[in-house]
Structure 1
Amino acid sequence: MPHEFDVDESELRSLEITDEERIERFKRAGYGGNVSDALYNLGVDDTILAQEFAPLEAGMVLCGRALPVKLHSQVLESEDDDPLQDQLEEGEVHPQRRMMETVAEMDDGSVLCFDCGGDMQPAQFGELSCNLAYQQGCRGMVVAGNMRDTQYVLEMDDFPAYSLGTTPNYYGGWIITEVNEPIYLPGHLTHYVEVHPGDFLFGDRDGVQVIPEALVDEVLLRVEETHEKEEDERDRIREGMTVEEVYDEFGVL
């Protein structure tokens, strides 16, 4: 079911900008706290992903339009063994290719989000796939499973990636079963967070959270307003305001 929030959609502001512009503006003004506060003030408090999601490298900032993908465990004898291939009807596109074609069809700025069904045996994504996705406009990924080839992923220009772990192991295997359909990722305040096509992801040192599609621009504008206000407060505090002056003027920080 769609995300729920406590505001009339007619009151929400929208921007005539591209997703790449949204990403740039979120990265300039956003951080986990002000994104979360904006969502909470709009009635959303159940879209923070589990703390176990970690970036490949500290300081990575993930932001972009969600492209949800559902994986399922599948025992494979080797990388060339793909039982699904034999089940495809003539002319039917393989789900992995369909995933990449969907990335290419979307506006630049997508984020691949993988629901791996709790399978932590294999690595579900590696560097060559990351490079192909990046060249088609993908700007990051969230994997509820493992990654591998991470030394080469880290050499990419700008591809923030969050996962539950890393492993060199491919054996065990998996298949893609759904592309661009709602998925469930482990949550922090809720057991699962539902991710819909069109939602936005924001992740930094504090964690990853989902911004429902209808709220993306409203959240961005609120984040920018908070950023401007806090920059002024920060400068004035550094200039030597007393405790009394801070709380009299700004209230609770």
Structure 2
Amino acid sequence: MDSIASTIDHQKKEEIRIRFLKVDTSNVADVLDNLGYPNQGLAAEFSPFPATADRLAGWAYTIRGQMTPFPLGGDPEKMMACQGISPGEVTVWSGDGEGICYFGELIAIGMKERGCVGSLVDGGIRDVRWIGQHEFPVFARYRTPIQSIGRWKVNAWQTPVFLRGATTSLVKIEPGDFILGDEDGVLTIPAAIVEQVLEEAERLTSIEVSIRAELSAGMTLAEALKKFGHV
């Protein structure tokens, strides 16, 4: 079955993505709570690599793998999976790998060439310095020099995946859901409510901008809260 995101044309999807880059995950998380989606946050271990990486915002392209001993020489399924990536997408890597990287600089370059705008990795990455120089934002659980070849193998892509959660053990991510990450952490937004969440997050952001301006002009916090309410 096609996702909600697949019914939106590319221009509209890119417009939504760019708008999300201007709102904070904190506001989006509050909106999700109010809409009855309290468990969309990912585990605190997910961090930007390098630490100076840009925000992560894009439509989920999912990739799944598992620890599987196999001969050295490459992982053709991983290469096949990456061939399907479209502009504006974030690759979401899931699986049971521990201590090994799911990809490094060269695959990051290949993904960026296809229009990929970043990666979310429930596992490890390597070549952190070089990935940073390519301005390719990655949020992952850890970094490691140990390659996946011979140890961890891709077995599916564009299928629902589960990543470690903040308030629940696992968070389900469907292809076409929206991924947003910044200094505070990472969220996944179900495709069916992406536009609703964005509009409300933009409203909250506008209120916060006004509050900061009033505080800078001398208004006390109590006065600001009385005028604008809790945000």
| TM-score, normalisation: structure 2 | 0.89
- 1:96 is matched with 78
Alpha-carbon distance in structure 1 between the residues aligned to 2:44 and 2:141 = 9
- 1:52 is matched with 45
Alpha-carbon distance in structure 1 between the residues aligned to 2:99 and 2:211 = 48
Alpha-carbon distance in structure 2 between the residues aligned to 1:244 and 1:194 = 40
Alpha-carbon distance in structure 2 between the residues aligned to 1:49 and 1:236 = 33
8 Å contact kept, 1:56–1:162: yes
- 1:110 is matched with 89
Identify which range, 198-207 or 94-103, moves more after superposition: 94-103
Alpha-carbon distance in structure 1 between the residues aligned to 2:47 and 2:74 = 31
Tell whether 2:202 aligns with 1:220: no
- 1:149 is matched with 127
Tell whether 2:69 aligns with 1:69: no
Query: Residues 145 and 226 from structure 1, CA distance in 2 versus in 1: closer, same or farther, beyond 3 angstroms?
Result: same
Tell whether 2:29 aligns with 1:39: no
8 Å contact kept, 2:50–2:128: no
- 2:156 is matched with 178
Give RMSD over aligned pairs.
Answer: 2.1
Tell whether 2:230 aligns with 1:252: yes
Shift of 1:178: 0.7
8 Å contact kept, 1:116–1:143: no
What SS does structure 1 have at the residue aligned with 2:83?
Answer: helix
Shift of 1:122: 1.7
Alpha-carbon distance in structure 2 between the residues aligned to 1:153 and 1:66 = 20
Shift of 1:17: 4.5
8 Å contact kept, 2:92–2:119: yes
- 1:163 is matched with 140
Q: Which amino acid counterpart does residue 161 of structure 2 have in structure 1? A: I
| TM-score, normalisation: structure 1 | 0.82
Moved over 3 A (4+): 14-17
Alpha-carbon distance in structure 1 between the residues aligned to 2:181 and 2:14 = 16
Q: Which amino acid counterpart does residue 164 of structure 1 have in structure 2? A: R
Shift of 1:26: 1.0
Deviation digits for residues 81-114 of structure 1 (CA, Å, limit 9, x no counterpart): 66xxxxxxxxxxx4223312210xx3x1101111
- Sequence identity, in percent? 31
- 1:90 is matched with none
8 Å contact kept, 1:122–1:172: no
What SS does structure 2 have at the residue aligned with 1:185?
Answer: strand
Alpha-carbon distance in structure 2 between the residues aligned to 1:243 and 1:154 = 39
Alpha-carbon distance in structure 2 between the residues aligned to 1:177 and 1:229 = 45
Task: Note the residue ranges of structure 1 that are not aligned, 5 or more in a row.
Answer: 1-13, 83-93
How many residues of Structure 1 are paired with residues of Structure 2 in the alignment?
A: 223
Task: Note the residue ranges of structure 2 that are not aligned, 5 or more in a row.
Answer: 1-7
- Given candidates 165, 172, 194, the residue that maps to 1:194 is 172
Q: Which amino acid counterpart does residue 22 of structure 1 have in structure 2? A: I
Query: Residues 151 and 244 from structure 1, CA distance in 2 versus in 1: closer, same or farther, beyond 3 angstroms?
Result: closer
Shift of 1:52: 0.6
8 Å contact kept, 1:98–1:179: no
Deviation digits for residues 181-220 of structure 1 (CA, Å, limit 9, x no counterpart): 0000000100000000110000001100100001111111
Q: Select the structure of larger CA radius of gyration.
A: 1
